[in-house]
Each structure stands twice: as C-alpha cells, then as structure tokens.
Structure 1
Amino acid sequence: MRHATVHPRTLGYLGRALSLEYSAVQQYMTQAALTEAWGLAEAADRFRRETVEEMQHAERLVKRMLGLGVSPNASQLRPANVARNLVDLLRQDAVLEAEIVALYNEATQFCRRIQDHENAEFFNGLLQDELHHAAEIETWLEALGVPRHQEPNERAYF
C-alpha cells in the first residue's frame, strides 16, 4: 500500500500514535530510573519491560508508515512526568494509557468505517495490546491498595 491510497486521516492517526508511543517510552524509562533510585528494584524492572513494549509498538508504527510510503514523524513528544511515590506514577500511567487506548479505538473505528480493513486490523492489534497494558496498571494499583477508578474523559496532558 502506498501513500496515495491511504486516507489522510489514517496517516494522522499513525503520526499521533507514534508521538504517544515515544512519549510512553520516555515516561516508562524515566520511571524505571526513578523507582530504581527509590530502591524499588521490582518496580524498576517492570517499568523497563514496559519501556521495551512501547518501543516495540513504536517500531511497528514506523514500519507501517514506511510501508505506506511516508516518513515517520513523532512531532509532539511529551515530557515525562515524575511523582513522589509509585502510586502517583501509576496513576499518571493509567491516564496516558487511557489516551493511547482512546486513539487506537478511534483509529480502528474510522478505518472500519472507510473499509480500510488492513489499517483497521493494524490499529486493533495495537489497541488490544494497550488494553491489556492498561488492565495491568489497574491490577498493579489494586495490589498496592488503590481502588479501581477511571474517569471516562480523562486524558493525559503533560
């Protein structure tokens, strides 16, 4: 598939997704270093694994964009957030993941509406990964004694 056959809005979703995935990489990498400095080795290891997962998502997006004949461009990298404790870090992550999930859901639905099945499946694959990751964050928070809480319209603004 080449650039001329892809809806411009689909290309916009790909660019925004790449920006969010790179932002997540930066976020989790920072949190790994921060929790390591706090002496929370297990948390640091988990954040490092999340960093790798998000880098793999970014790589999938880059390959997809190159395959479509467009240059990857993550133009809106967000600064990493820091917090005073692990719970607050995870709350920030839950907000970021909710935004990523919302974007992939919207992109999947749009591609389905325009009958771009290939890109719909691509976005849906990323959506499923991120839904799983968001659930892991919620489970981690619950294990730390934080009750499940989600704001339906909450988005990450850094």
Structure 2
Amino acid sequence: MRRQGTDQRILGYLGRALSLELSAVQTYSTQARLVATWGLDGPARRLRDEAHEEMRHVERIIARMLALGVAPSGSQLRPALVGGDLLSLVEADYSFEMELVGLYRDAATQSERIARRDDRVFFQALLEEEQTHAQALVEWMRTLERPVEPPARRPAFR
C-alpha cells in the first residue's frame, strides 16, 4: 500500500506526530473537564477549543499518511497532564506544545534535506500553528501569574 519513494524517516515523524497530537486531544479534553469541576467555565471552554484544534491536526496527519499510502497508527498515548491549579495545567501544556514544535521543526528540516517539498510544507504549516499556540499559552500564563489586585480606590473629594 505504501507509495514508492516514501522516506521512512518522514513516516516516523508522522507516526510520532499522530501519537503526540492524540495525546494532546486527550490532555486538553481531560483538563477541560477537570477545570469545569472547579467552576472555571471560561478556561474550560478554552481548553475544549484547544482539544478541537489538536483534533484537526490529527485529521490532517491521518490524511497525509493515507495520501502516502500508509495506514495511520499512533503508537502510544501519553497520560493526560493534570495538576492542582490552572497555572500548573497551562505550564504543562506549554512544555508539551514545545515538544511538538521541536518535532515539527525536525521534520521540516529533514524534509528539506531530502528535497521532499510537499512534506516540508506540511510540517512547516503544523510548526507555525504550534508556535502560535505555544505563544498563546505563554500569554495565558502571564495573566495567571499576576496577582489579582483590588480595584483602585478613587481619591476622596475634598
């Protein structure tokens, strides 16, 4: 079934990407449910949206594997990342996203090295999306690290 000339390393990157993206879907879905139990509806919605975004990546990876004539197979899901508060969850998510960034950077570089333009474009697009996602997590962490201050008092009128 595999198309002739498909590089084994590219297939390896696709398999690892599928496993990591499926793990991300599991993590974000679990975190959304956990955060909802804490009564944090806004963050729960945001984490559900993250799960849906990662699922779109899964679908693209599966489509790419099928186009290369390979049956999709994720090797192993990682346990969902959970923690005791929202900041620890987002910090763990950032670390995970940076792992995906590294994987896609390596895959795009390898694709370029072996002159596989379509694979390079595919991995580069995922890389850019994950970089944007990681930056959004950094911004979210910054908002969570700021202590909540009471509203400023208005000066007394004399």
1:128 is matched by which residue type in structure 2?
E
Which residue in the other structure is 1:153 paired with? none
Which residue in the other structure is 2:34 paired with? 34
Which residue in the other structure is 1:140 paired with? 140
Which residue in the other structure is 1:59 paired with? 59
Structure 2 gaps, min length 5: 147-158
2:16 is matched by which residue type in structure 1?
R
Contact conserved, 2:3 with 2:68, CA < 8 A, in 1?
yes
Secondary structure of the structure 2 residue equivalent to 1:9: helix
* 1:3, distance to aligned residue in structure 2 (A): 2.7
Contact conserved, 2:19 with 2:74, CA < 8 A, in 1?
yes
Rg larger in structure: 2
* 1:91, distance to aligned residue in structure 2 (A): 0.8
- 4+ residue segments displaced more than 6 Å: none
| Residue 131, structure 1, aligned to residue 140, structure 2 | no
* Aligned pairs (5 A) from 1:5-154: 5-145=5-145
Write the deviation string for residues 43-102 of structure 1: whole angstroms up to 9, x where unpaired: 000000000000000000000000100000001211102100000001110110010000
2:67 is matched by which residue type in structure 1?
G
Write the deviation string for residues 121-149 of structure 1: whole angstroms up to 9, x where unpaired: 00000001000000000000001126xxx
User: What fraction of aligned residue pairs are identical, expressed as a percent?
Assistant: 48
Mapped to 2, the partners of 1:144 and 1:3 lie a distance apart of 48
TM-score, normalization by structure 1: 0.90
Contact conserved, 2:62 with 2:72, CA < 8 A, in 1?
yes
What do you get for the CA RMSD once the two structures are aligned?
0.9
Secondary structure of the structure 1 residue equivalent to 2:122: helix
TM-score, normalization by structure 2: 0.90
* 1:106, distance to aligned residue in structure 2 (A): 0.2
Mapped to 2, the partners of 1:4 and 1:79 lie a distance apart of 35
1:141 is matched by which residue type in structure 2?
M
Mapped to 1, the partners of 2:25 and 2:4 lie a distance apart of 31
Contact conserved, 2:29 with 2:47, CA < 8 A, in 1?
yes
Which residue in the other structure is 2:154 paired with? none
